[in-house]
Structure 1
Amino acid sequence: MSVFSALLRIALLALLVTFIAAPQVFAPVFEPLTSHGAPAIYNQGSLVALTLSHLWTVFVATLGSIVVAVSLGIFVTRPSGLEFLPLSRTIVNVGQTFPPVAVLAIAVPLVGFGEAPTLIALFLYGLLPIFENTLTGLTQVSPLTLDAARGMGMNARRRLVEIELPLALPVILAGIRLSLVINLSTATIGSTVAAKGLGEVIIAGLQSNNTAFVVQGGLVVAMLAFFIHDAFRLIERRAGRYQSAQASA
């Protein structure tokens, strides 16, 4: 990453944090998007609180997806679990088969309004990329490497923890990154079932025909997705360098 690119990212991050913490400073920027004296800045709640709620919902749902998808990926790459691979693929595809809105419609009568149905929808939606990348990462580990580990006296558990998972980590992280970025935008629909998040800003704008609100909500979500994507790419590159160093050691 060049110095200019790094400085640009720092400047954009500072701009995002400033906007979330003190949005009224940017009122002149958004005033051209309003009409009939409508407020230029979202004024029905705290952007800080909504952003934190949005991130919390996404991270909790993604954490659940990671635990289930990685565990399932490990299970179906073991000899005892190979026959369950088709069934596992069918299960994780459910979240992608049904749109999140449909999952919300099913979940609300079961768990009520609020954060719970949104967590269910995001959890299901985030399973597929993490599962497939876990599967890819683990199956790409060289049989020669595993044979060498076996020859060193490592049992199956040690091979998994010390060899397979570290080597598969960059690919697994890529799946987690994809899941997070998808869920950051998808989480905005949670506001339709009374979940706290940045979707409230967008929905308020649509209901009041205030383009400024819609743009603000969309911009914050997009910038959060950009920075999280960027952070995970950095972690993936470092994991990849570590993997290369271990392979050459």
Structure 2
Amino acid sequence: MRAGPVLWRLAALVLLLVFITKPQLFAFVFEPLTINNAPAIYNQGSLFSLTLAHLGTVFSAALASTIIAVTLGIFVTRPSGLEFLALSRSLVNIGQTFPPIAVLAIAVPLVGFGEKPTLIALFLYGLLPIFENTLSGLTQVSPLTLEAAKGMGMSPRRRLIEVELPLALPVILAGIRLSVVINLGTATIGSTVAAKGLGEVIIAGLQSNNMAFILQGGLVVALLAVLISDALMSVERFAARKLGQAPS
């Protein structure tokens, strides 16, 4: 990896950490965006705590989406599950068909306000990319490779664990990365149902007509998305190199 991109990523990470822990250092940057002596830096909570809560919600939903989507992808690529492929696609498409805000509206009466409805919305929204990439990764494994593994006496379970899943891993990881990055932005709507997260900063800015707050929340989410996407892409490339594949 070239030194230039690494330095830029490191600089972005340091800038983000300093901003969420010591935001008052950047007050002079946001003061021109305020009116009527409004505060330049979000003062209704800790940016650091809100960032951790935001990431916790996103990664919890991503973990649940990954477990369900990968398991379902494995099932429908087995001979016994092929007939359920169309049904499975329809089910995982539900999260993309209904806007997350609509899922929140349905979930709140069932589970109440807070983090739970947001987790449900993000879980459903994150299923499709992971499921489709799991299908792509498993179906792209060479039949010759599978025949060779079968000829070595491997059982179907061993072929799945030791051959298919490792070869499909880079593609599956790409789906997880896409799901996480999408939900980093989508999670901001969770604050409309009292879930802790960076959406609080953006909503506070909208309610008080304070562009400084809106920009702060948006910039932190954007930097998180770029840095996490880059980190997950590095994991994909590492996995691809280990398997002797050309990194995508």
Same fold at TM > 0.5: yes
Residues in 1 aligned to 2:242 and 2:2: alpha-carbon distance in whole angstroms: 21
Residues in 1 aligned to 2:186 and 2:237: alpha-carbon distance in whole angstroms: 26
Report the AA paired with residue 72 of structure 1: L
Report the AA paired with residue 191 of structure 1: S
Partner-residue secondary structure (3-state), 1:45: coil
Counterpart of 1:100?
Answer: 100
Residues in 2 aligned to 1:106 and 1:165: alpha-carbon distance in whole angstroms: 36
1:61-111 per-residue CA deviation (whole Å, 9 max, x = no partner) reads 010000000000000000000000000000000000000000000000000
1:184 matched to 2:184: yes
Partner-residue secondary structure (3-state), 2:81: helix
Counterpart of 2:77?
Answer: 77
1:8, CA displacement in angstroms? 1.2
Report the AA paired with residue 216 of structure 1: Q
1:201, CA displacement in angstroms? 0.1
Residues in 1 aligned to 2:197 and 2:5: alpha-carbon distance in whole angstroms: 30
1:133-188 per-residue CA deviation (whole Å, 9 max, x = no partner) reads 00000000000000000000100110000000000000000000000000000000
Residues in 2 aligned to 1:71 and 1:5: alpha-carbon distance in whole angstroms: 36
- In the alignment of these two chains, the number of paired residues is 245
1:88 matched to 2:88: yes
Counterpart of 1:68?
Answer: 68
1:49, CA displacement in angstroms? 0.6
1:226-247 per-residue CA deviation (whole Å, 9 max, x = no partner) reads 01100011000011111117xx
Counterpart of 1:196?
Answer: 196
Report the AA paired with residue 11 of structure 2: A
Partner-residue secondary structure (3-state), 1:214: helix
Report the AA paired with residue 50 of structure 1: L
Residues in 2 aligned to 1:104 and 1:224: alpha-carbon distance in whole angstroms: 23
1:59, CA displacement in angstroms? 0.3
Counterpart of 1:173?
Answer: 173
Residues in 1 aligned to 2:7 and 2:122: alpha-carbon distance in whole angstroms: 33
Residues in 1 aligned to 2:5 and 2:49: alpha-carbon distance in whole angstroms: 30
Q: Which runs of 5+ in 1 are unaligned?
A: none
Counterpart of 2:49?
Answer: 49
Any runs of at least 4 consecutive aligned residues in structure 1 with deviations exceeding 4 A, and if so which? Answer: none
Residues in 2 aligned to 1:46 and 1:32: alpha-carbon distance in whole angstroms: 22
Counterpart of 1:2?
Answer: 2
Report the AA paired with residue 197 of structure 2: G
1:12, CA displacement in angstroms? 1.0
Residues in 1 aligned to 2:133 and 2:162: alpha-carbon distance in whole angstroms: 19
Counterpart of 1:206?
Answer: 206
Counterpart of 2:139?
Answer: 139
Partner-residue secondary structure (3-state), 1:62: helix
Q: Aligned Cα RMSD in Å?
A: 0.6
Residues in 1 aligned to 2:174 and 2:5: alpha-carbon distance in whole angstroms: 22
Residues in 2 aligned to 1:222 and 1:138: alpha-carbon distance in whole angstroms: 32
Counterpart of 1:130?
Answer: 130
Instruction: Give identity over the alignment, percent.
Output: 75
1:2, CA displacement in angstroms? 1.5
1:4, CA displacement in angstroms? 1.3
Residues in 2 aligned to 1:33 and 1:2: alpha-carbon distance in whole angstroms: 37
Residues in 1 aligned to 2:226 and 2:239: alpha-carbon distance in whole angstroms: 20
